[in-house]
Structure 1
Amino acid sequence: MFPYLFKIGAFELRIYSLMYLIGILITIYFVKKKGQKLGFHPELIENIIIVTFIGAIIGARIYYVVLKWDFYSRYPKEIIAIWHGGLAIHGGIIGGILAAYFYCKKKGVKLLQFGDMLLPFLLLSQGIGRFGNFANGEAHGVPTITPPSIIFRMKNVFPEFWQQVLNSFGLKNTPEEVSKLMDFIKEKGVLTVKFHDKIYQLKEYVPWGISFPPKYNPPAYQDFGTLPVHPTFFYEMILNFIGAFILLLLWKDDKNMGKGVIAGLYLIFYGVIRGVVTFFRADDLMIGYFRAPHLASFTMIVIGLIIVLRGYRNGVE
């Protein structure tokens, strides 16, 4: 909605970048303090965090490019153009874990101990970062006029449903044309659409949708014009903050460091959070007819449960 704080020539101080910078600085400060308390050199902890962050960026980009290969195979120069967008959080988690694993192994640090120190702040940083998505008008949800019975399906039928909506009212898939749907609803109260031999109502199902104006031409406007959309960035922000608060309560007790329970709970918490929020997302990556985040989140939850159970067997207090 307002992607940068200020712009001087070609330089932009983007809110998205600023949010993640704040998250990284908070993480480094608190994890270094915890590391010192547990006997680690501050420089070692700082280096592990930086290596993990770099690995996360690389992993996030590779994951996104692979699942969008139909586009990047045609425009290979765009593969390295991360300033044009295209980072996937699940790829970032995979890349970060791999980078941390190899660096920790080299330095003789237990990966789960580092994970227990870091991951509450990663979840906190992810929450902070979602404000950057709001500023960019991205990572947005489907229009609030979408029936819940369309949203809550494991198979993603929304794109097909939305095309049927546009066809039913003779609208082109442009922001200006799509924006007319809200005017139709204001005139008639409720619109009906036939989809897969069933009748669905189009109306404002929730009152807290956010409408993005054409200024800056954000992705949400490109997709749905000025229709109010589910603020999925705020859904995830709130849930991430709640999850981070719970993890930080455990993080405060040094006895919980190194057992892996905090790391496992992070995987479970974020797997559940993203799994829920994904139902509302309009721009998620796909694997066939299914949302890639659902498959990745399920894997995270299973791995997290295994780690937590092992941690409790090792005597977490």
Structure 2
Amino acid sequence: MSLLVLNPIFLKLGSVTIRWYGILIAAGAAIGVWMALKEAPKRQIMADDIIDLVLWGVPFALLGARIYYVIFQWPFYAQYPGEIIKIWHGGIAIYGGLLAALVVTIVFTYKRHLPLWLILDIAAPSLLIGQIVGRWGNFMNQEAYGGITSAHFLQSLQLPNFVIQQMYINGHFRQPTFLYESAWNLLGLILLLFLRHHPHLFKQGEIFLSYILWYSCGRFFVEGLRTDSLYWGPWRVSQMLSVILFVTAAVIFIYRRKRDQVPDYLAGSGLKYPYHH
């Protein structure tokens, strides 16, 4: 069966190759930064602080995403160590990037004397938009797909024809797990954006914790459908981490909700412009 497959390469100039994956990742990041810059001043956080955090966070997030992937594919990379730095050959993991970005944010807010939970709340919708758009990079690369299915099943989902065609991989139609996760994250983004400005609904930290709860829940089920999961023994790593993150976020959410001194999200930082670090 011959179907039209989308070219993962956007542009090639001599030895320089620009892939749709990179463009979509960059686009998601850019939209996410724009969203954070729009929200930050409303919560008394300077835009410069957001930009500085991005400049520190993005490189370390990419590094963390790569290290995470390499660790769980170590038998291969131990045999071919030269491949470790070749990130353009594929192999980054969202969870690794999120954990690295979280560490950077903790250190950054401590050094700048900024409210950690409020910064994480501002960043949560940006993280979701990055994941929503980024999954379409997987679509262009024909990766992060699920098990074998039928054209009839994909058509029953009312998917556009170009999506169905792109899901014909190695002689079989595949579950579009990239799309399931992207759609789940889009729904989560809509809910957070709709609810976050409701008075007295969220305490500081709860938008970020809600993001963790939402994403880890969806990722657990989508990961179970994928055929390219990273494993630790018989266990899918992302499913194990999803459970750990969900339980941890739920416990922290409940604990902090019982503390009356936690300010509302809409109360902002309380810092006055211009403030000095």
Q: Distance in 2 between matches of 1:212 and 1:45?
A: 37
Q: Which residue of 1 aligns with 2:271?
A: none
What letter corresponds to residue 304 of structure 1 in structure 2? A
Deviation of 1:26 after TM superposition, in Å, equals 1.4
Alignment-derived partner of residue 80 in structure 1: 85
Cα gap change, 1:52/1:258 in structure 2, threshold over 3 Å: closer, same or farther? farther
- In structure 1, list runs of 5 or more residues that go unmatched: 146-203, 214-219
CA RMSD of superposed structures (Å): 2.2
2:175 maps to what in 1? 230
- What is the aligned-residue identity percentage? 31
TM-score (norm 1): 0.73
Matching residue of 2:226: 281
Question: Structure 1 residues 260 and 310 mapped into 2: Cα distance closer, same or farther (>3 Å)?
Answer: farther
Per-residue CA deviations over 1:228-272 (Å, capped at 9, x if unaligned) read 010111111111100111111233358667611111111111111
Tell me which structure has the larger Cα radius of gyration: 1
Tell whether the 8 Å contact from 1:124 to 1:241 is kept in structure 2 after alignment: yes
> What corresponds to 1:304 in structure 2?
249
Find the aligned partners of 2:35 and 2:55 in 1 and give their Cα distance: 14
- SS in structure 2 at match of 1:228: strand
Change over 3 Å in CA distance of 1:43–1:86 after alignment to 2:
same
Q: Determine the C-alpha separation between the residues in 2 that align with 1:55 and 1:231.
A: 29
Three-state SS of the structure 2 residue aligned to 1:283 is: coil
TM-score, normalised via structure 2 length: 0.83
Q: 1:106 to 1:228 in 2, by over 3 A?
A: same
For residues 113-162 of structure 1, the C-alpha deviation after alignment (integer angstroms, 9 at most, x for no partner) is 111001112112101111110001111111116xxxxxxxxxxxxxxxxx
Kindly provide the amino acid, as one letter, of the partner of residue 219 in structure 2.
R
1:10 has 2:15 as partner: yes
Q: Contact 2:9 / 2:20 at 8 angstroms: preserved in 1?
A: yes
**Distance (Å, rounded) in 2 between the aligned partners of 1:56 and 1:138:** 21
**Contact (CA 8 Å) 1:140, 1:231: kept in 2 or not?**
yes
Change (3 A) 1:16 1:143: same
| SS of corresponding position for 1:87 | coil
- Whole-Å Cα distance in 1 between the matches of residues 180 and 242 of structure 2? 16
- Are residues 1:271 and 2:230 paired? no
Q: How far off its partner does 1:308 sit?
A: 2.0
What amino acid maps onto 1:11 in structure 2?
Answer: V
